[in-house]
């Protein structure tokens, strides 16, 4: 077991790679009553096309999320109920690039951890239970499709990307989930729910040796196959400049997405993530000159916001909110990005944003869940996320201007709009 102490943030992490390939991370928190376990696979909504046993499979959109729902079924009953009986609070989620199962508890932790590792590793599906779940998830899909926020975001991604799997809805469609069978679920579990494709992260007052020993006893001895994935090749250009949808909304909404150059895995991935976040704040955060100007002009309101997101092979900056004149807002964003790229970032403003961003990362370590998610994402993308102070040290105003010059351009922009039904 390797223990690393990060002096600048005051955290220690114990890491062990088991013989079956599973990465185990334990963050000791002496004196805390709550213990948190996070068991995740690098398998999400994007992973619909992959090679298993020498054969390329095209699986239905939404299958990773569907599998997450079904994993709680066991031959004995339901793992959620079993965990709850032991005083745990369990849950799960599926994102574009991962699926995670987790719980927190103050008692019976090792027993709860055994249950978690067992049900995630041992699938149990029947044709009857799969068919029943189609109705439940179908209702969920219909509900989110009626949500303007979901529609505007999803349509922005589809406008930006021609072929990349980022276009794929995590939940899928009513039509796509109707194609899912028990056999397909077993194939996906065999491909991705393998120790070498997973990580267990535990945060709390626990003995790392006990955690590692339990994982060794419960989990499969073999690592499983290395799976080749196909996300689709993607040009730099956007697929559509604008997409418009009529819905039952009281006011028009818009999102402008900027298709950024994706980062390579490893340290570059972490650096690109921090840099993108800072560039977004500097360009159009609430303390930016652009935000204040647009707000005073009545072109935006408190609903306006932006962010920078990354997935495997994908990176994009986006911003939007309520607004009757999205063209004026997007023109202003482009003009401000061009100005900053030409004139540079004010040094005092840059330092203020960097300090605020660093502080946000540091505060995130107060959350057990955030620590676990951060360590998981770092492992899946090949970097150590707790070395973020060194990355902040390396970012310069010139990095910000180069990012904006390259990525925030009219050629890389796609606008998604929702307008009231006439």
Residues 298 and 385 in one domain: yes
Residues 254 and 211 in one domain: no
Kindly state the tokens that stand for 190.
């065999």
Residue 401 binned pLDDT confidence (cut-offs 50, 70, 90): very high
Residues 138 and 272 in one domain: no
Q: Residue 202 domain-assigned?
A: yes
Residues 296 and 352 in one domain: yes
pLDDT tens for each residue of 170-184? 999 999 999 999 999
Mean pLDDT of 409-414: 97
pTM flag (> 0.85): yes
Q: Residue 265 domain-assigned?
A: yes
pLDDT at 315: 97
pLDDT at 95: 97
Q: Residue 144 domain-assigned?
A: yes
**Domain end position, chosen among 198, 229, 260:** 229
Q: Is the pLDDT of residue 217 over 90?
A: yes
pLDDT tens for each residue of 281-327? 999 999 999 999 999 999 999 999 999 999 999 999 999 999 889 99
Q: Is the pLDDT of residue 197 over 90?
A: yes
Residues 265 and 374 in one domain: yes
pLDDT at 132: 87
Burial class (CB within 10 angstroms; exposed 0-12, middle 13-18, buried 19+) of 286: exposed
In terms of DSSP H, where are the helices of 195-316? 208-218, 267-284, 289-296
pLDDT tens for each residue of 130-149? 988 898 999 999 999 999 99
* Number of domains comprising the chain: 2
Residues 198 and 252 in one domain: no
Q: Residue 235 domain-assigned?
A: no
pLDDT at 376: 98
**Domain end position, chosen among 229, 254, 286:** 229
Q: Which of 267, 249, 284 is nearest to 383 (CA)?
A: 267
Q: Residue 237 domain-assigned?
A: no
Residues 142 and 265 in one domain: no
Q: Which residues are catalytic?
A: 68
CATH number of the domain that residue 323 is part of: 3.30.830.10
How much of the chain exceeds pLDDT 90, in percent? Answer: 94
**Domain end position, chosen among 185, 206, 229:** 229
Residues 187 and 107 in one domain: yes
pLDDT at 320: 96
Greater confidence (320 vs 127) lies with 320
Residues 408 and 364 in one domain: yes
Q: Residue 91 domain-assigned?
A: yes
Mean pLDDT of 53-59: 96
Q: Is the pLDDT of residue 77 over 90?
A: no
Residues 194 and 263 in one domain: no
pLDDT at 298: 95
Give the residue numbers spanning the domain of 396.
242-420
Q: Residue 236 domain-assigned?
A: no
Q: Is the pLDDT of residue 76 over 90?
A: no
In this structure, are residues 265 and 273 in contact, taking their beta carbons and an 8 Å threshold?
A: no
Judged by phi (left if over 0) then psi (alpha if -120 to 50, else beta), residue 204 lies in: left
Residue 277 φ/ψ, nearest 5 degrees: -60, -45
In this structure, are residues 389 and 8 in contact, taking their beta carbons and an 8 Å threshold?
A: yes
Residues 217 and 280 in one domain: no
Burial class (CB within 10 angstroms; exposed 0-12, middle 13-18, buried 19+) of 261: exposed
Q: Residue 196 domain-assigned?
A: yes
Residues 329 and 399 in one domain: yes
Q: What is the mean pLDDT of the chain?
A: 96
Q: Is the pLDDT of residue 129 over 90?
A: no
Q: Is the pLDDT of residue 246 over 90?
A: yes
Q: Is the pLDDT of residue 113 over 90?
A: yes
Q: Is the pLDDT of residue 90 over 90?
A: yes
């Amino acid at each position: 077991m390797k223990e690393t102490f990060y002096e600048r943030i005051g955290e220690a992490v114990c890491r062990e790679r088991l013989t079956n390939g599973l990465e185990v991370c334990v963050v000791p928190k002496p004196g805390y009553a709550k213990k948190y376990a996070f068991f995740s696979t690098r398998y999400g909504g994007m992973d619909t096309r992959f090679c298993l046993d020498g054969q390329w499979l095209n699986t239905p959109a939404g299958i990773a999320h569907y599998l997450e729902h079904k994993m709680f079924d066991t031959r004995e009953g339901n793992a959620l109920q079993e965990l709850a009986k032991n005083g745990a609070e369990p849950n799960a989620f599926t994102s574009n690039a991962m699926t995670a199962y987790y719980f927190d508890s103050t008692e019976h932790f090792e027993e709860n951890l055994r249950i978690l590792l067992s049900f995630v590793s041992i699938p149990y599906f029947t044709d009857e239970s799969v068919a029943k779940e189609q109705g439940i998830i179908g209702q969920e899909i219909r509900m989110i499709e009626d949500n303007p926020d979901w529609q505007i975001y999803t349509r922005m991604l589809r406008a930006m990307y021609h072929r990349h799997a980022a276009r794929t809805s995590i939940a899928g469609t009513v039509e796509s989930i109707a194609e899912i069978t028990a056999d397909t679920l077993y194939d996906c579990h065999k491909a991705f729910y393998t120790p070498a494709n997973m990580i267990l992260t535990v945060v709390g007052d626990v003995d790392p040796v006990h955690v590692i020993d339990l994982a060794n006893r419960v989990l499969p001895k073999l690592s499983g196959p290395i799976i080749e994935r196909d996300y689709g090749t993607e040009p730099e250009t956007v697929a559509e400049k604008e997409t418009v949808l009529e819905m039952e909304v009281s006011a028009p909404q818009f999102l402008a997405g900027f298709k950024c150059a994706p980062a390579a895995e490893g340290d570059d991935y972490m650096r690109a993530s921090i840099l993108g976040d800072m560039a977004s704040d500097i360009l159009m955060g609430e303390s930016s000159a652009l935000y204040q100007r647009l707000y005073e002009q009545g072109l935006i309101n408190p609903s306006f916001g932006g962010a920078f997101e990354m997935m495997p092979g994908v990176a994009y900056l986006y911003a939007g909110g309520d607004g009757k004149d999205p063209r004026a807002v997007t023109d202003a964003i482009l003009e401000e990005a061009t100005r900053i790229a030409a004139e540079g970032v004010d040094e005092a403003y840059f330092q203020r944003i960097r300090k605020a961003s660093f502080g946000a990362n540091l505060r995130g370590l107060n959350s057990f869940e955030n620590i676990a998610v951060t360590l998981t994402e770092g492992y899946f993308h090949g970097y150590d996320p707790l070395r973020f102070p060194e990355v902040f040290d390396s970012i310069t105003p010139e990095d910000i201007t180069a990012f904006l010059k390259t990525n925030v351009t009219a050629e890389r922009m796609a606008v998604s709009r929702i307008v009231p039904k006439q």
